[in-house]
Copies of this chain bind each other. A is one copy, B any other.
Amino acid sequence: MKSQKELSKTDHSTEDKIKNAARLIFHKKGYAATRTRDIAEEAGINLALLNYYFRSKEKLFDIIMLESLQGFLHSIKEVFNNEETSLENKIETLVSNYIDLLIEQPDIPLFLLSELRNNPNELVSKINIKQVLMNSYFIKQFKHAMNDGIIATMNPLHFIMNILGMTVFPFIASPILKSLSDISPADFEDLMNQRKILIPNWIKGMLIV
């Protein structure tokens, strides 16, 4: 239950106030549409202070971007490299954790994907997503099960696309989905919580030999 604390992090220092405001607005509007004035106002401080602490809009953005990316990968990393849990259990945990995360911070995926779009970013290589995902214990288990004929043979990328697609996409597309049905935010959250059970079941269905 750290999420609430995570969101409105310790707002003690001015530096933290600015960072929290920046995260909020960058996530919501993206780099280009964000004005440093908005961040300053949201933080309740003066515009000059932003440059005093972070030098420039871009530097501040880079910090937020890095942290957001790391935070988002953190969930996967922990689950994927747990050597105690089964393949099935990993899927259930991952989906459930992500849905919880996305209910709290629904803006993160669209933010990350938009900002990563054109920047074959140094960040992506710095964070080394490849190492985290493709060399994980999870992938080992997956390939092992395929070799043993326990699950159907497929490129692990398909598998990752399906899990992430079914889990993350509804949040990215929520503006449209909400307009499809006359669905309230509470209803939407209910639907997403249902998916904690549904998605792992669907995924299992895909793996049957």
Contacts and interface: CB of A to CB of B under 8 A. Distances in A.
Contact of A162 (B31, B164, B202, B208): B202
A165 interface: yes
Q: Which of A107, A110, A133, A173 has the most CB of B within 10 A?
A: A173
Interface of A: 28-33, 107, 110, 113-114, 116-118, 120, 124-125, 129-130, 133-134, 154-155, 157-158, 160-162, 164-170, 172-173, 175-177, 179-181, 183, 191, 194-195, 198, 202, 205-206, 208
27 contacts: A30-B30, A110-B113, A110-B114, A113-B173, A113-B176, A120-B175, A124-B175, A124-B179, A134-B181, A157-B177, A157-B180, A157-B183, A158-B195, A160-B177, A161-B166, A161-B169, A162-B202, A164-B169, A164-B173, A165-B165, A166-B166, A168-B169, A169-B169, A172-B172, A202-B202, A202-B205, A205-B206
Give the secondary structure class of A's interface: helix
Contacts of A133: 180
Contact of A180 (B130, B167, B208): B130
Contacts of A180: 129-130, 133-134, 157, 160
One complex includes copies of this chain to the number of 2
Given A129-B180, A158-B195, 8 more contacts: A30-B114, A155-B191, A158-B198, A161-B173, A162-B202, A165-B165, A172-B172, A202-B206
Nearest to A170: B161
Given A30-B114, A110-B113, A161 B177 contact: yes
